[in-house]
Structure 1
Amino acid sequence: MNRICLCLPTDRACSATLTAVHEEAAHAARDHGADVQLLVLDSSDDRTRAEHTRVVAGLRPVPGVTVHHLDESAQRAFLRRAVERAGPPEPERLLRLMLPSAVSYGACTNRAFLLAAALGCSSLHRRDSDSAYQLHDGQPVFPVHHELPWLGRPAAEAAAGGLRTDLGPAHAHRPVSLAGASFIGELSVDIAEIQHLDEGIYHDVVSLWAPGDWPEERTRQLVEESFTGAGTAPFTGDRATLTRVDPMRVDMCNVAFDRAVYERMPLPPATDTIGSDYFLLHLVHDAGLPGILHNRHIENFHTPERRTDSGFAAYQRRFVKFLLSMLYFHHVYDRMAAEGAALLDERHRVRPGTVTALLRESAGLDRAQNVWRLDRVDTAYRKLGGRYALFADRLAAERDRLLDEAEADIEDYAYLTEVWPALVEAVRA
């Protein structure tokens, strides 16, 4: 029986999502014969976590589904045992990167990767607490339908099984390493208000995540498709293609990875930034590993907390840190694309050391482009006025700190990639 980890990390109230993800787990067990380890990583406050505990306790038992609801204390205990067994250099630094005090989308998924390895799972399937499943003919549209059959198996087998493909013969013996789709509904990044206030300023701000040397037309195309997912059209029928999956077509609320990917490479553990959990999508694509792109998109929505004054400032800071991270990640993405299949060993597995070297190389880049980005954001937000202008004042006071954090985030990621194999081996033991 195929053992999988269906994971829901959360730091907010999400009782309805908990129930819905459990239904997907039941579907995977009942209709696909999977042994589902449903993993809920709960970083919410005491009151919210207590409500989640009540919801989990009330879930009906399903053969083939085991529910693990872990608060941060339980996660920390697990991590401390793993770090002690792995014996890495700077163990306290590793613990901080795996379970930071601030929000980190990459770190929470890295904890899920480790727990999936400890549970003996062959794949990890991630959902988000601020999303919901579409309905079609009154039934939920579960992505696991496309995620389960072929992950980890040679692409040639999936093609022979009838899956539509656009892969060439060179990819036939490489394993299917991810399956994913996107979302419909609100923008994945909560900046629609900027677009509503001023389309020109929206373009100026969003364009800052493109490399500084891109031509204007390519940057314009990036802005037009950024954060829009699959648009708003609802699901009407299945489409799936075996392909090299474009990272722009997949969202991390709707993705599954084969263990050979996440047991070799973690995600960036950067705190207080969005987009830190998308790196593996680029790595799988650039290495030429096959994936399945399907259309069982998840519905995305934004929680009201982001629109409060405190939530607004925190989210805008994460967005700015995302823009600053692009200086380093674009450098790494370009070099990974140039490496291509050289990123893989003779067993078609990612070579972590190659990626680590690229990360360390990027950490030494000149910051001038990021200074330019901060200048552009400052100008744009002051034009918008109101709380955007107030945030620009805060940004001005934090400029040096933000620049330092962006560089330190890459250095931390390089360190984590170096110690990751020993950490995975420790939890598997």
Structure 2
Amino acid sequence: MNRVCLTLPTNRACSATVTALHAEATYAARHFGADVELLVLDSADAATRAEHARTVAALPPEPGVTVHHLDEEAQRDFLCRVVRKAGLPEPDRLLRLMLPSAVSYGACTNRAFLLAAALGCDSVHRRDSDSAYQLHAGQPVFPVHHELPWLGRPAAEASAAVTRTDLDPALAHRPVSLAGASFIGALSVDIGEIRRLDEAVYHDVVSLWAPGDWPEDRTRALVEESFTGAGTAPFAGDHSTLTLVDPMRVDMCNIAFDRAVYERVPLTPATDTIGSDYFLLHLVHDAGLPGILHNRHIENFHTPERRTDTGFPAYQRRFVKFLLSMLYFHDVYDRMAAEGAGLLDERQQVRPDRIVEFLRESTGLDRAENIWRLDRVDTAYRKLGGRYADFADQLGLERHRLLDQAQQDIEDFVHLTVSWSALVRAARS
């Protein structure tokens, strides 16, 4: 029986999502005979966790579905045991990277990866708490429908089950390593207000995640498609493609990875940075590992805390840190794309040593491009005025620290990647 981990990391109230996730787990067990480990990683406050616990307790028993609701204390206990068993140097640093005090989209998913290893799972299927399943003919549209059957199997075996194949036949022997779709609804990054206030400023800000040397026409095309997902058209019927999945066509709220990917390389544990959980999408694509791109898109929405007096500057800071991270990641992505099949070993599995090499080399990059990014953000936000100008003032006080943090985040990613295989082995045992 295929054992899978369907996971929901959360730090907010989302009882309705937990209930819906259980329905997807039930669908996977009933329709595919899967053994589903439903994993809710709960970093919410005490009152919210208690409500989630009541929701979990009320879920009806379902054959083939086991529910795990872990608060941060339980997660920390697990991680302490794993780190201790791995016997690695700097154990306190590893614990901090796996369970930081600040928000980290990569770290919460890394915890899911290690717990999936401990539970003996073959794949991880991730959803988000600020999203919901579409309905079609009154029934929820579950992405797991396309995720379960083929992960880990040779792409050639999946070709008869998809709507179309857009894959070089020379890659057909490689395993299906990813299955995913995108989202409909609100932008994936909560910056729609900037676009409503000033289209030109929106272009200036969003363009900053492109490499600094891109021509204007390419940058403009990136801006137009950035953070928009699959648009707004609702699901009308299944369509799936066997292909090398373009990272721009999928979202981490709607993704599944084979264990041969996430047990080899983790995600960056960077804190207070949106997009810190997207690295493996690029790695799978650039290594030439097949995937299934489908159209069971998740419905995205924004929760109100990002617009509160405390939530607004915190979220904008995450966005700026994302922009600064691109100095390093664009360099690494370019190297991965050039390396291609060299990212794989003789078993067609990704080589962590090559990723570590690229990351280490990127930390020596000149920061001038990031100084330019901060200058552009400052100018753009002051044009918007109001709380955006106030945030620009705050940003001015943090410039040097943010530049240092962007580089340190990559160095932390190197350290975790070097340690990752030992952590996975310890978790599995």
TM-score range for the pair, normalised by the shorter chain length: over 0.9
Q: Which residue is equivalent to 1:363?
A: 363
Change in Cα spacing, 1:157 to 1:163, as seen in structure 2 (3 Å) is: farther
- State yes or no: 1:407 paired with 2:407: yes
Q: Distance in 2 between matches of 1:428 and 1:50?
A: 29
Q: Which residue is equivalent to 1:332?
A: 332
After TM superposition, the structure 1 = structure 2 runs for residues 197-276 of structure 1, keeping only pairs within 5 Å, are 197-276=197-276
- State yes or no: 1:388 paired with 2:397: no
Q: Distance in 1 between matches of 2:59 and 2:84?
A: 35
Shift of 1:384: 0.4
Q: Give the aligned CA root-mean-square deviation in angstroms.
A: 0.6
The alignment partner of 1:306 has SS state of: helix
- State yes or no: 1:165 paired with 2:174: no
Q: C-alpha offsets along residues 5-57 of structure 1, whole Å, 9 cap, x if unaligned?
A: 00000000000000000000000001111000000000000000000000000
Q: Which residue is equivalent to 2:57?
A: 57
After TM superposition, the structure 1 = structure 2 runs for residues 14-25 of structure 1, keeping only pairs within 5 Å, are 14-25=14-25
Q: Distance in 2 between matches of 1:162 and 1:406?
A: 40
Range that drifts further, 163-172 or 124-133? 163-172
Shift of 1:309: 1.2
Q: Aligned partner of 1:185: which letter?
A: G
- State yes or no: 1:90 paired with 2:98: no
After TM superposition, the structure 1 = structure 2 runs for residues 282-301 of structure 1, keeping only pairs within 5 Å, are 282-301=282-301
Q: Distance in 2 between matches of 1:422 and 1:165?
A: 37
Q: Distance in 2 between matches of 1:141 and 1:73?
A: 34
Shift of 1:88: 1.0
Shift of 1:160: 3.8
Q: Distance in 2 between matches of 1:416 and 1:320?
A: 23
The alignment partner of 1:129 has SS state of: coil
Q: Which residue is equivalent to 2:352?
A: 352
Q: Which residue is equivalent to 1:44?
A: 44
Q: Distance in 2 between matches of 1:13 and 1:400?
A: 35
Tell me, yes or no, if the aligned pair for 2:11 and 2:44 is still in contact at 8 Å. yes
Q: Distance in 1 between matches of 2:237 and 2:37?
A: 28
Q: Aligned partner of 1:140: which letter?
A: P
After TM superposition, the structure 1 = structure 2 runs for residues 129-168 of structure 1, keeping only pairs within 5 Å, are 129-161=129-161, 163-168=163-168
Count how many residue pairs are aligned between Structure 1 and Structure 2: 429
The alignment partner of 1:309 has SS state of: coil
Q: Distance in 1 between matches of 2:162 and 2:8?
A: 31
Shift of 1:164: 2.0
Q: Which residue is equivalent to 1:416?
A: 416
Q: Distance in 2 between matches of 1:191 and 1:142?
A: 28
Q: Aligned partner of 1:65: which letter?
A: V
TM-score normalized by the length of structure 1: 1.00
Q: Which residue is equivalent to 1:377?
A: 377
Q: Which residue is equivalent to 1:2?
A: 2
Q: Which residue is equivalent to 1:187?
A: 187
The alignment partner of 1:289 has SS state of: coil
Change in Cα spacing, 1:211 to 1:162, as seen in structure 2 (3 Å) is: closer
Q: Distance in 1 between matches of 2:249 and 2:37?
A: 27
Q: Aligned partner of 2:428: which letter?
A: R
Q: Which residue is equivalent to 1:176?
A: 176
- Percent identity between matched residues is 81
Q: Distance in 2 between matches of 1:160 and 1:378?
A: 52
Q: Distance in 1 between matches of 2:395 and 2:270?
A: 19
Q: Aligned partner of 1:31: which letter?
A: H
The alignment partner of 1:398 has SS state of: helix
Q: Distance in 2 between matches of 1:152 and 1:88?
A: 29
Q: Distance in 1 between matches of 2:342 and 2:163?
A: 27
Q: C-alpha offsets along residues 380-417 of structure 1, whole Å, 9 cap, x if unaligned?
A: 00010000000000000000000000000000001100
Name structure 1 gaps, 5 residues minimum: none
Q: Which residue is equivalent to 2:126?
A: 126
Q: Aligned partner of 2:253: which letter?
A: C
Q: Distance in 2 between matches of 1:345 and 1:165?
A: 25
Q: C-alpha offsets along residues 357-401 of structure 1, whole Å, 9 cap, x if unaligned?
A: 000000110000000000000000001000000000000000000
Q: Which residue is equivalent to 2:113?
A: 113
Name structure 2 gaps, 5 residues minimum: none
